[in-house]
Amino acid sequence: MHLQVSEFHQFEAGGNPFLYLVPSGGIFAVDELSRKALAIAKEQPREAKELLDALVASGATVEDARDCIEELVGARALGPEGGWKEPIDEAPAKFPLQTLVINLTNQCNLSCQYCYEYGEDKVATPEGKAKFMELETAKQSVDFLFKESAGRNSVHITFFGGETLMNFPLLKQIVDYSQSEAKVKGVTIDYSLTTNATLLRQDIIEYLSTNAIGVTVSMDGPKEMNDQLRVFANGKGSYDIIVPKVKELLKHHTTRPIAARVTLTNGVRDVAKIFHHLKNEIGFHEVGFAPVTTSPTRLYAIDEKGLDDVLGQFEKLAYEYLEFALRGEHHGFSNVSDTLSELHQGISKSHPCGAGLGLLGVGPSGDISPCHRFVDSDEHKLGHVSEGMDSTKQQDFLKRGHVNAKYDCESCWARPVCAGGCYHEAFVRYGDTGHANLHYCDWIRGWTDLCLKIYGEIATHNPSFLNHFDQRKAS
């Protein structure tokens, strides 16, 4: 068999060379002999015996050369001419549900200009539908979750909006009902929610802590940044309202870490300043960032130069994360933690995320959507909780979203962790959920390369820190 170099991405970290293997998603440390073998095979495909002889001629023993070749072939860094044929599995016709995102309401007491649900690029068509979910629909949603998650030992409910806490009484009823059903079925269930924090009260905070409900607060940094777009309908900023409430939340919600979620826009992208304000001054456990999802014509959209600037700032903060990791300390930049977790687990995605597979969204009316970002969109409706899933629509969504259906992804080394990017982003930009997020390609490759280097540094200098990502997966 002629052997040739397979598809991989080379990087160096901790003074050592590594390979990121594609499409398997494995990370392979390269010693000097392996480096020689790859260099020889890169010149032209060679028979295994010819490659072995070349390594021996360079000074290796026959045994070491043979072991090296076998290891490289086993890792699929070397392969047959034409490459390894490793089609990524198609989505199964039946996949057990893990997470249901329940939109308690599509109403909100803020008027954030970039809102994907009601902003300038909205996909929702809520006219004539319920604005607040009712108890019967909520119970049907919980029943749907348990039915569609058959075989799983644990399930998860995320409460969402609109502003989630505008329908807090229903949230409590859902927790009560789902806990009683879970006990009957012998299944564990946990909860999380996203909120703008404007409606937090002491009794709500106590309830969230007592029931170990995870909380993510949408907040865009210091006052001058947060109040640019996170405003009430009268244009008044929300910062002064939410900060005292957030501090009470952080003080009294002791059963789950509290996270902040930041939307970066053209005028709000001082990543380090935002992070240190939210993490160190306010006290959030973790802070995560995402560029705004919008058409490129909006004034708050981040252009290509702006994305390069964001990546540069991410890099500086990521190396700060590395300094903490090498000391065995928690940092809190969740974008790094999330990517390192996927790299550590060797994830190779068939689809960008779990939308339409292990995760679904439910709107206040009971309509089912691929995720919370498509709730109340007639075009993306996959069924109703009272009737079940339309499997034909679900399979069509998943087929178009598969990485193998995206021509632009075929030659990209970062596809194991990206798989083409967010469905909602693709629809807003290109009008097709199955379209690759081409405007983010260079950004994703740059970010993945950076995180690979961070991973390699940790693996070289403090490998025990990586055990954290085993725990992160388990949780």
Report the pLDDT value the prediction gives residue 232, as an integer from 0 to 100: 95
Tens digit of each residue's pLDDT (9 = 90 or more) over 211-242: 999 999 999 999 999 999 999 999 999 999 99
pLDDT at residue number 473: 47
Classify 366 as helix, strand or coil: coil
Q: How far apart are CA 132 and CA 140, in angstroms?
A: 15
Per residue in 64-118, pLDDT (tens digit) is 999 999 999 988 899 887 776 656 566 666 889 999 999 999 999 999 988 877 6
- Which uninterrupted H or E stretch holds 427? helix 423-430
Q: Note the pLDDT of residue 315.
A: 97
Contact 129, 163 (CB under 8 A): no
* Predicted local confidence at residue 94, as pLDDT: 80
3-state secondary structure of 294: coil
Let me know the angle formed at the C-alpha of 423 by 420 and 429, rounded to the nearest 5 degrees.
90
Q: Which residues of the chain have pLDDT under 50?
A: 473-475
Res 123: pLDDT: 87
Task: List all residues 6 or more positions away from 294 whose beta carbon is below 8 Å from its beta carbon.
Answer: 114, 119, 120, 121, 300, 301, 428
pLDDT of residue 471: 62
- Residue 474 has a pLDDT of 40
**pTM for this one?**
0.93
Task: Kindly list the structural domains of the chain, giving each domain's residue range(s) and its CATH number in brackets, ordered by start.
Answer: 2-80 (3.90.930), 99-368 (3.20.20.70)
Residue 122's pLDDT is what?
Answer: 79
pLDDT given at position 88:
58
What percent of the chain is predicted at pLDDT more than 90?
A: 87
